[in-house]
Amino acid sequence: MANSAKLYKSMIDGLEYRGSAFFQCYTTCQPEHGVADDKSALQAKLSRDSRGMPEFVFDPQQGELSQKCLDLKGNPNVKNDWGQSTYAEDKEKYNYTVAHWATTEARFRKHLKVIKPDDAESMLFLDDILLCVTQADVVNRRVFDEAHRSYIPDFGVYIIADIGGKKKHVAVSRQVVLFSVERRKAWRMLQSKAGVENADYQAQIQLLEDVDGGKISIEDLRARPREIIAAEKATEG
């Protein structure tokens, strides 16, 4: 429901195609999700923009290569991990993740806690911890090992969300961070199938190789991962 015109066009194309057609459509269930009755289209858009439910079309009539048939148009920042949004309060841009989308639906309320900015100083910023973790770390349960670079403390990670037009610091549960890691991997898989190169992924893999190889300490990684990547890009440039 995030793009109704594209949905209807895809349905017509699918009906005209001389073969099977599969449609996967997402919308909220207002009472269960804690969403107003008139917000289904908006919530579908937020889900898409957060990588929760990406928008794509696979049309086998476009060719015999996956990257020819898979179209990711309609998603924000197609070449990056996350789309971006802008805070209403000061117009600052930020990465819009599934954690930010979760703040817009009451069903996630047990996984979110509004905190004071001072409380966030002892916590990890979501953008930083995501650079320290891969889905393989989740599968192998390294995210529970306090000595490992991928350790995720429960409610020890925070985001800055736009809530009611104001910037709010919100602590998120470990499950929300894991949700972000999983959705990022799913998006990266779609990108690779569509032939889209993701510079964010390449930068993260290089960073973690340097950490696991002993070139960068875990303490340094967790303290300033984005700064390290930015410095590496500046050197390459």
pLDDT exceeds 70 at position 237 = no
Q: What is the pLDDT of residues 46-77, one digit of tens each?
A: 999 999 999 999 999 999 999 999 999 999 99
- The tokens describing 67, both together, are 């990257």
CA atoms within 13 A on the CB side of 164: 3
Report which residue type is found at 55.
E
Spatial separation of the C-alpha atoms in residues 85 and 169, rounded to whole Å: 16
Taking the CA atoms of 98, 103, 108 and 109 in sequence, report the sign of the dihedral they define. positive
Q: What is the pLDDT of residues 18-28, one digit of tens each?
A: 999 999 988 88
Residue 122 CA, chain-centre distance (Å), reads 23
CA atoms within 13 A on the CB side of 129: 29
Crossing angle for the helix pair 225-236 and 199-212, to the nearest 10 degrees = 110
Into how many domains does the chain fold?
Answer: 1
pLDDT exceeds 90 at position 115 = yes
Average pLDDT over residues 140-167: 98
Spatial separation of the C-alpha atoms in residues 177 and 101, rounded to whole Å: 13
Taking the CA atoms of 193, 69, 79 and 81 in sequence, report the sign of the dihedral they define. negative
Taking the CA atoms of 38, 107, 50 and 88 in sequence, report the sign of the dihedral they define. positive
Per-residue confidence at 32, pLDDT binned at 50, 70, 90?
Answer: confident
Average pLDDT over residues 165-172: 98
Report which residue type is found at 15.
L
- The tokens describing 96, both together, are 């819009």
Domain that holds residue 185: 4-236
Which regions of the chain does DSSP assign to beta strands (E)?
A: 57-58, 70-71, 83-86, 93-96, 112-115, 124-125, 157-163, 166-172
pLDDT at residue number 29:
86
pLDDT exceeds 90 at position 80 = yes
- The tokens describing 163, both together, are 């809530």
